[in-house]
Amino acid sequence: MGARHLRLPERFVMPVRKVAMLTAGGIAPCLSSAVGGLIERYTETAPEVEIIGYLDGYAGLLTGNSLPVTAEVREGAHLLHHFGGSPLGNSRVKLTNVADCVKRGLVKEGQDPLHVAAEQLTKDGVDVLHTIGGDDTNTTAADLAAYLHENGYELQVVGLPKTIDNDVVPIRQTLGAWTAAEQGAIFAKNIIGEHTSNPRMLIVHEVMGRHCGWLTAETARRYHAWVGEQAYVPGIGNSQQRWDVHGVYVPESHIDIAAEGARLRATMDEIGCVNIFLSEGAGVADVVAEMEAAGDEVPRDPFGHVMLDKVNPGAWFAKQFAAAIGAEKVMVQKSGYFARSAAANDEDLALIKRCTDFAVDAALRGESGVVGEDEEAGDELRAIEFPRIRGAKAFDPQVEWFQALLRDIGQH
């Protein structure tokens, strides 16, 4: 058994008296619902367990900023399923990035954030910590779980996998990703109407996805399906081809701008517009290389990730494609904040309930890990061992549904 997997023999399982929750990283269409689901499940199965929520993610844990889940909150927990965002607030804090924690005033000079977090949990009398977040949140939870175990703090950490990118290994489907794709397709229905605003119009729909193209691909698939379901008026410029997506680009596939430019130039010449779905992580290495060659500093977050909103890959690719296809006007629209802020849809609500119910039951059994459908164990829903959790799971662009989409739009 790995040091970070804190599942204890049954005879050593301690009673759970108090649990804490936190949400961290970027928001996703599952956080409010996951918080509500945990509260509902504890109230249903172990109403005597006290619950608190740390505010603003690990920042709240380090500073001891929390609020109690009162009887009134428990009674209204079901209402959280109707909202996006997080009632607890989020932040991006890496507990092993000591310098950043000191700089932000979360710990004092000379303090170890992991030790500060462990002491705060002990001070608050917490038996179980539920972390709701993506790969960064849960790898940070893994660091914390390991520290707790190795230093005699026998406290359980049970995570839930939140990320719209759907890129956590080995989890088949992360919470919020289906909703984000659905909302991205809704976003596209409106922005692609802009193809009528100017002759030779290029529209780039930039979709979130640092390393993984799943969200871009699924968003494009859902939008393309909607286009195919509509009725059009022939002879007046209202055609399926003008409304459709003409190119989909993901980080896992090389973008041959010259070849794609030639293909899309023919589309532009024929119908007077081109609509592209681009993953924000597609070709970032090229953008970074160009910035570094020019002597520009590449902005990075506390986890070392390139800050994509400042690098702006969508604008970079729009410039390349605009020149290649002879666009007269270019529009880059980003659906990320629109999509990730939504309330969970029915698909996600069902998955969230399964996972929150399991997370509570696992905590009461004395298990730790990240709850999800384990792709390396036949998609079994289980508390996956922390050392096996990592980010940047690649999307497979050869899957049949994506290849079918590319065939439909003439992209090879």
Known catalytic residues?
A: 165
DSSP of 52-72, one letter per residue? EEETTTHHHHHHT-EEE--HH
ω into 68 cis (within 30 of 0): no
Q: How far is CA 392 from the centre of its chain?
A: 11
Phi/psi at 282 (5° precision): -70, 120
Residue 257 makes CB contacts below 8 A (sequence gap 6+) with 317, 320, 321, 324
Joined tokens for residue 87: 């009632």
**Distance set, CA 357 to CA 4, 88, 199, 392 (Å):** 23, 20, 53, 27
Q: Measure the CA–CA gap between 128 and 14, rounded to whole angstroms.
A: 11
CA 129 to each of CA 32, 314, 353, 398: distance values in angstroms, whole numbers, following the listed order: 17, 38, 18, 39
Determine if residue 57 is left, alpha or beta; phi over 0 gives left, psi from -120 to 50 gives alpha, anything else beta. left
Contact 386, 141 (CB under 8 A): yes
* SS3 state of residue 248: strand
Residue in the block written with tokens 């909150």? 73
CA dihedral 297, 298, 302, 308 (to 10 degrees): 150
Q: Collapsing DSSP states into helix, strand and coil, what is residue 156?
A: strand
**Cα separation of 303 and 93, whole Å?**
8
- Encoded amino acid at 177, one letter: A
Query: Which residues neighbour 62 within 8 Å (Cβ) at sequence distance 6 or greater?
Result: 93, 95, 101, 106, 107, 113, 116, 117, 120
Q: Which residue has the tokens 């969200």?
A: 215
CB-CB contact of 210 with 281 (8 Å) = yes
- Neighbouring C-beta atoms of residue 291, cutoff 10 Å: 16
What are the tokens at 294?
A: 């020019």
**Residues 242 and 201: beta-carbon distance below 8 Å:** no
